[in-house]
A and B are shown apart, each in its own frame.
Chain A
């Protein structure tokens, strides 16, 4: 089972579903992610990146969320399949 930060998702991963594993790194970003309701075991789908290699876009429980690279780094995920 591979655990890695969301910021490492690549083009090939678009459309794939991942599970939230843990939170790490910058304290502020970490807390912010938690405030927004992310929790361990949450399923998220990777939607791709905004133009100019911009923010990562994910769908979680029907909500779309945009995360900057450094924010996405704090969200550790694992592949479900």
Chain B
């Protein structure tokens, strides 16, 4: 925010309106791509602060607030809106001007908000959106009447073509007036009922120039009505919902994969380039395995995040997201959540990082927290190489369907675990605010691709900026711990064996022993904190002979080639404790799988959780809790099976 407030800002304007009022579309017209999302201090709610687009040539700051139906907050995000409008938001200060954005097709239901803004005493202008829709049905509004009612200017705005934008710009460029915020008198049910009736009458006057208002208004929603006959149908609606979700999920999973491979390839290409530098091998290794692989761990998530947010944007902009949340609301309400948690949870099966970012669409803090705790339990794609290796050992020489079946069971169990975790948290967490669904399902609209694209890019950049540095630092630290102090040794295996990580691993072997693991597995688990799949490549280094090491360096295990995989499986199968017992027995291998199902073993998840929830306490709680639970259950599994 400091960047925005630093120079030449002459005034600050806030946008206020109900959800789906077209507020965010207007905001995008006003700011172009010159905005950033910020977390409200001490809260997880975020709002956008931007600067008026250069072409308007006015140094004005624009704030987009979370959608509200009133200025009497009932949830955390509504508190933020109230604070911004009433000038209580730290670092934003008093608003010079408020634009109250109301949906022109739903005037009657949005006028009480205008009235409340007016009572607050803040200078405002009414922006009536959806002008394109009104025009399409030849609906005319008596703007003067509306203007007179609130003694305020009223501007019609078409979000599709941007018509009306110049008037809005002119309006916010007018000189700042001084005012004092007045205390809002509380509206009770009687106030509302009277006001709502009054505004309904007013709106019928505003619409009185139209010959057949009812028919015209009803034909506005004719298409939506037709589509919803199918999309909200108890059976076909569900079929469509499952299809859309499958498409979204597989996009994140599969469409992003080639892009991720390109990112991977790009960084290993750079890594190869580093090898030809005329510097010592230590610096080369630091650059390729420390710095570059650190950067690669940051950027490898970019395709998934972009694809997921593009998909969500498409659903939101077309009007389907609210319906999807409605469709799945019932089962989720049993877990104390709302249907809004579904998309993030599903995305967790691809990767927890974009999934946790997707929880921004959940407006209740409590729901968001519960969802964010459940997400890391989903079987993310980074767990696949680990499970593949462990199942290959477990079912060595047996029919291929057996590990396949067990893998499917692991997926289902993770879903059940997520549900159990949510249910437990729902019981444990105090219910500060009552959760409600009660929402408007917007009309179906043609998605604004440019806007969706821009939002997806913004989200992706915000991920790189927020979580990137933490992931990078973790990654470099782990390189240091796995290579020092014996950095001069040529063999990677030897270096790792005498590294700080191994020293620690050997010291704390007694901790890993109860789950049937030796120090090498322990070190593997520690290095897996960079990313779960690193477990496989670490084991390859720790267990393998020298000749294959060169191939494994830096490359993810699943691309390391089947020879290495086979040789690793052989090595692991024959690995023994000093007393001759097998290290990877049935009991210990299953214990490891159990460990991976629970363990919060991913620095990127930790980093993004920390940034999104804005709380080191919560992030550490999650980290410690899941790892302790994972450990205890792994030990129990091992003891029971052996």
> Which chain B residues border A67 with CB–CB below 8 Å?
437-438
Known contacts A39-B196, A40-B197, A48-B232; A54 and B327 CB within 8 A of each other: yes
Chain B 603-642 interface 0/1 with A at a Cβ cutoff of 8 Å (1 = within): 0000000000000000000000000000000000000000
Residues of B within 8 A of A55 (CB): 326, 329-330, 437
Instruction: Name which of B220, B327, B442 has the most chain A CB atoms within 10 A of its CB.
Output: B327
Q: How far is the CA of A23 from the CA of B69 in the complex (A)?
A: 18
Q: Tell me the number of A-to-B contacts counted with CB atoms below 8 Å.
A: 132
Complex CA distance for A42 and B228, rounded to whole angstroms: 22
Distance of A41 from chain B, by nearest CB (Å): 7
The distance in angstroms between the C-alpha atoms of A35 and B439, with both chains bound, is 11
**Which residues of A are at the interface with B, using a C-beta cutoff of 8 A?**
23, 26, 28-42, 47-55, 57, 59, 61-68, 71
Complex interface: chain B residues within 8 A of A37 (CB)? 69, 106, 108-110, 112, 196, 199
- Whether A31 lies near B437 (C-beta < 8 A) is no
Shortest Cβ distance from B65 into chain A, in angstroms?
16
Q: A55-B329, A57-B232 are in contact. List 12 more A-B contacts (CB 8 A).
A: A31-B189, A35-B192, A37-B109, A39-B197, A51-B238, A52-B331, A55-B330, A61-B217, A63-B105, A63-B106, A64-B224, A66-B441
Chain A CB within 8 A of B74 CB = yes
A36-B109, A39-B196 given; A65·B440 CB < 8 A: yes
What range describes how many residues of B lie at the interface?
A: 35 or more
Cβ contacts A to B, 25 pairs, < 8 Å: A23-B193, A31-B74, A31-B188, A31-B189, A33-B438, A36-B438, A37-B106, A37-B108, A37-B199, A39-B196, A39-B197, A40-B193, A41-B197, A48-B233, A49-B234, A51-B235, A51-B241, A55-B326, A59-B221, A63-B105, A64-B228, A64-B442, A66-B326, A66-B329, A66-B438
CB distance A65 to B441 under 8 Å? Answer: yes
Chain B residue, CB-CB nearest to A42: B200
**Contact A38 B196, beta carbon cutoff 8 Å:** yes
Instruction: Tell me, rounded to whole Å, the shortest Cβ–Cβ distance linking A1 to chain B.
Output: 19
- Interface positions, chain B 161-202, Cβ under 8 Å from A, are 188-189, 192-193, 196-197, 199-200
Contact, CB under 8 Å: B193 / A71: no
Contacts of A65 in B (CB 8 A): 438-441
Q: Is the CB of A28 within 8 A of B436?
A: yes
In angstroms, Cα B327 to Cα A29, docked, is: 20
User: B18: nearest residue on chain A (CB-CB)?
Assistant: A36
B333 CB–A CB distance under 8 Å: yes
